[in-house]
A and B are shown apart, each in its own frame.
Chain A
C-alpha cells in the first residue's frame, strides 16, 4: 500500500509542472489522442473522455509562473487567471492542447474565448454555454443542443463518431470519480487532521491533469492510506471556504488557513469534480442524462442563477451543517465580479442563521500570507470563544 505522502508527492509534482508533462505523455502514448483544455467552473468531461480525449483543467499559472506577456493583454483591474492562462499559452506550455473550452463563468472568461480564437487560430476554442433556466423543456432543450454541438466538435477532433455507448461508459467512470472525490471530502469533514486541506487540494488538482482512470486509482489509494495512518489531531476550528471556484488560491494560502487554526472541512475550489451531487444516470439517453443532472442535480455557485429567492445561499448553510463547520471564510479573487457580488448576499443569509464569517481577497500569486494567517487565527479563536458555553 502506498503511503499518503508518496501519493501527495506525486500530486505536488503534477501541480508544480507548468508544462503539463503528465498530459503530454498521455497524448504521446497513443497516436490520435487529443487534449481538450477547459477553464473553471464546469464542462461535461464525460463527453471529452467518450470521444477519446483528455480533459485538461486549465486553472491559471499559480504563484510560480512569471507573467510577462499576459499582462500586456489585461488592465490592472482585471483578475489574474486570464493573464496567467494566456501566459501559459503564449509561452508554448499549452502547445499540445487541441481545443479549449470556456464555460460561461463570467465576462472575463467569456471574452477570453474570443481572444483565444484570434491568438491561437489553430486551436478549436469554444465558449461553452449552460442554461440559466432550469425547466427541462426550456433550459434543458437548449442545453441538449449545446451538448450536441460539443459532441460534434469532439467527433471532429477524434475523427470518429462519439457513440451513446461510449458516453454511457464515460459517465460511469466519472460517477466513480465523483464518488471517490466525495469520499475524500467526507473523510476530511469527519477527520480533517487525517486529510489536511492542502493534501486534498493537491489530490484534486491531479485530477485536472490525469486521465480519470488513473485519478480514480489514485483517490482509492489515498483513501486507503489516509484511513490507515494516524496523525495528530489539533484543537482547530472547522470552517467552510467559499468564493474560490475560479482563480485558484495559492497553495500557501490553503496551508496558512490550517496553520492558523482552521480546519477546512468544505470548499469550492474545483467544483468540476463534484458538480453533480449524485450519480448521473448511466443508462438511457446519455446526453439527456447529462442535461438532467446539470438542471436538477448540480451544486450552487455564483455563476449559476438561483431561481428561488428563499433558497439563495442556503447551500452554504447546508454545507456548514453537513460538515459540522463553525464558520465560513469568504476567500475571493480580487476583481472577481461573480464571487464578490455574491458575497454580501451569502453573508446576509449566514447572519440570519447565526453563522460567523470572515472575508478576504487573494490573487493566485499572492505572496504575503501573514495578514491572512492573522485574520484566520483571530477567526479561529473567536469561534472557540463563541462556542464556549
Chain B
C-alpha cells in the first residue's frame, strides 16, 4: 500500500522505515529461487500473515503488485496485455494487471522478476473475484492451491458455525498444505507469538486511525491512510518491524497533534482543514497523487475511510488473540470490511460520520470492484437520509488509467465542496 514517490518527498522516519520494509520483502521475493525460500501468494483481505510466518515462507501479494504497478503508472499496458490475451474489458483490473505482468515475464514493480509461487493461498474473504483470480493463476502455474472459504456475514455477524468452518479449514486444509509447501512443521506456539506481536501493532494502529477525531485532524485517513495500513495489511503483521513502525508513526502523529498541525501531504505543506470527509471505496492508484492534491488544495481532509478497513476492522475492537489462535484468525477473516453485509457497512459509515464530525461522505466508486461498488448508490442515499449531510459520487478505477478523468473528478469534487459550504451557510442562517 505504499508508493515510491512519497518517501522521496516526505522525510518522516516512519515513511522511510516502511519503504525499507517493503523493499526488503521484494528482495526476499527476488532472491527466493537462489535462497530456496518458499513463496506463498495470497490476498490482502483476510490474509494469514502470522500463520505464513510460522512456515518461513515469503509472502507475495498480487494486489500489492498491482497497486505498486498502478502507482508507477505501469498498470495500463499490463491490463491491455491481458485484454489482448482474451480477458474481458469488463472484469476487475487488478486481475488483469497481474495476468498482464505474468504474461510479460512476471517482472515485479521494482523491476526484478517475481518467483513462481509454491502455494496459492486462496483466502476467499469479501470478494468472489479472488476465487477466479487464483484459479487463473493455478491454471498457469500448476501449483498447489489451498482454498480457505470464509463465509459472508449475510446477517451482519459471524456465527459459531462460520468460525468453526473456517477453523476446520485452517486445521485440515490450509496448515497441512503450508507444511507441505514449506517443508516446515506447524508450531502453534510460534503462531501465538506472532499473534501477540500483531496485537501490539494493532493497538497503535487504532490510535493512529482515531487521531483523526482531533480538530484539525493530524492525518488524512484515506490518502495518508493507505500508507498507514501498509504494514498491518500485508506481509508484516505479526513482525517486530510492524510494531516498531506503528510506534514510530504514533509518536510522529502525537507531535503533530501537539503542534496543532494537519496531515502531511506530498507537497510537504500543511493545508488548513476546511472540510472533514468520510470516504468509501478504494483509491485510484495511477492518479493517486493527482487525486489527493485535488483534496488538499481545497483543504479537504479525509477523517475516516472504509478502504482502510478491508484488511480488518481493528477500530471496532478486533485484536488477534494468542490465546485463541485459530479462532482469532477465523474471526479476523470474517470481519473484514467487504465481508460485512451492506446494512453493516452503512451503519459503520454513519458511525464514522458522527464520531469523526464529518461534513459529508464521498464515494469513490470503482469500476473494477463489484464487491465494493454494488450497492453504493443506496449507501449514498441512506447516509444522506440518516445524517442530513451531503454525499457525493465519483467514478474511477483502481489501476486502469482509462477510467480516471481528472476534469470530471475535479468538477465533481469542487461542486461537492460548494454544496457542503452552502449547507453550512444554511445551518448558520437558521441558527442566527
Residues of A within 8 A of B (CB): 72-75, 77-78, 82, 102, 104-108, 110-115, 117-119, 126-129, 131-133, 135, 137-139, 141-142, 145-146, 302-303, 305-307, 309, 312, 332, 334-338, 340-345, 347-348, 361
Chain A contacts for B129, CB-based, 8 A: 107, 337, 341
Q: Are A344 and B154 in contact (CB under 8 A)?
A: no
Q: Of the candidates B124, B159, B343, which one forms a contact with A118 in the assembled complex, judged by CB atoms under 8 Å apart? A: B343
- Whether a CB of chain A sits under 8 angstroms from the CB of B172 is yes
Residue of A nearest to B87 (CB): A344
- Whether a CB of chain A sits under 8 angstroms from the CB of B367 is yes
Q: Are B161 and A145 in contact (CB under 8 A)?
A: yes
Q: Tell me the smallest distance from the CB of A346 to a CB of chain B, in Å.
A: 10
Give a binary string over B82-123; 1 marks a CB under 8 Å from any A CB, 0 the rest. 000111101110010000000000000000000000000000
Determine chain A's interface SS by DSSP, over half rule: helix
Residue of B nearest to A138 (CB): B168
- Whether a CB of chain A sits under 8 angstroms from the CB of B36 is no
Chain B contacts for A343, CB-based, 8 A: 86, 88
| Assembly CA distance A222 to B159 (angstroms) | 46
Chain B contacts for A106, CB-based, 8 A: 128, 370
Q: Of the candidates A115, A307, A336, A338, which one forms a contact with B147 in the assembled complex, judged by CB atoms under 8 Å apart? A: A307
- Whether a CB of chain A sits under 8 angstroms from the CB of B22 is no
Q: Are B161 and A340 in contact (CB under 8 A)?
A: no
Q: Are A110 and B128 in contact (CB under 8 A)?
A: yes
Knowing A142-B161, A142-B162, A312-B135, the reply to whether A77 touches B90 (Cβ < 8 A) is yes
Chain A contacts for B341, CB-based, 8 A: 113-114, 117, 127
Chain B contacts for A73, CB-based, 8 A: 375, 377-378
Q: Of the candidates A117, A126, A306, which one forms a contact with B135 in the assembled complex, judged by CB atoms under 8 Å apart? A: A306
Q: Of the candidates B92, B159, B365, B378, which one forms a contact with A337 in the assembled complex, judged by CB atoms under 8 Å apart? A: B92
Q: Are B136 and A138 in contact (CB under 8 A)?
A: no
Q: Are A303 and B128 in contact (CB under 8 A)?
A: yes
- Whether a CB of chain A sits under 8 angstroms from the CB of B152 is yes
Total interface residues on B, using CB and 8 Å? 54
Chain B contacts for A347, CB-based, 8 A: 86
Q: Tell me the smallest distance from the CB of B99 to a CB of chain A, in Å.
A: 9
Q: Tell me the smallest distance from the CB of B171 to a CB of chain A, in Å.
A: 9
| Assembly CA distance A163 to B40 (angstroms) | 47
Q: Of the candidates B139, B149, B161, B342, which one forms a contact with A111 in the assembled complex, judged by CB atoms under 8 Å apart? A: B342
Knowing A75-B373, A75-B395, the reply to whether A344 touches B136 (Cβ < 8 A) is yes
Q: Are A340 and B375 in contact (CB under 8 A)?
A: no
| Assembly CA distance A256 to B90 (angstroms) | 24
Q: Of the candidates A115, A142, A305, which one forms a contact with B375 in the assembled complex, judged by CB atoms under 8 Å apart? A: A115
Q: Are A337 and B343 in contact (CB under 8 A)?
A: no
Q: Are A75 and B168 in contact (CB under 8 A)?
A: no
Q: Tell me the smallest distance from the CB of B167 to a CB of chain A, in Å.
A: 10
- Whether a CB of chain A sits under 8 angstroms from the CB of B371 is yes
Pairs A–B under 8 Å by Cβ, sample size 27: A72-B377, A75-B377, A77-B373, A104-B152, A106-B128, A107-B128, A111-B370, A111-B371, A114-B345, A117-B343, A118-B382, A129-B154, A132-B147, A133-B165, A138-B168, A141-B164, A142-B151, A142-B161, A302-B132, A305-B135, A306-B135, A312-B135, A337-B91, A337-B128, A340-B90, A341-B91, A341-B129
Q: Are B132 and A342 in contact (CB under 8 A)?
A: yes
- Whether a CB of chain A sits under 8 angstroms from the CB of B173 is yes
Residue of B nearest to A86 (CB): B378
Q: Tell me the smallest distance from the CB of B124 to a CB of chain A, in Å.
A: 6
Q: Are B365 and A345 in contact (CB under 8 A)?
A: no
Q: Are B132 and A133 in contact (CB under 8 A)?
A: no
Chain B contacts for A114, CB-based, 8 A: 154, 341-345, 375
| Assembly CA distance A142 to B85 (angstroms) | 38
Chain A contacts for B169, CB-based, 8 A: 133, 138
Q: Are A129 and B128 in contact (CB under 8 A)?
A: no
| Assembly CA distance A178 to B138 (angstroms) | 34
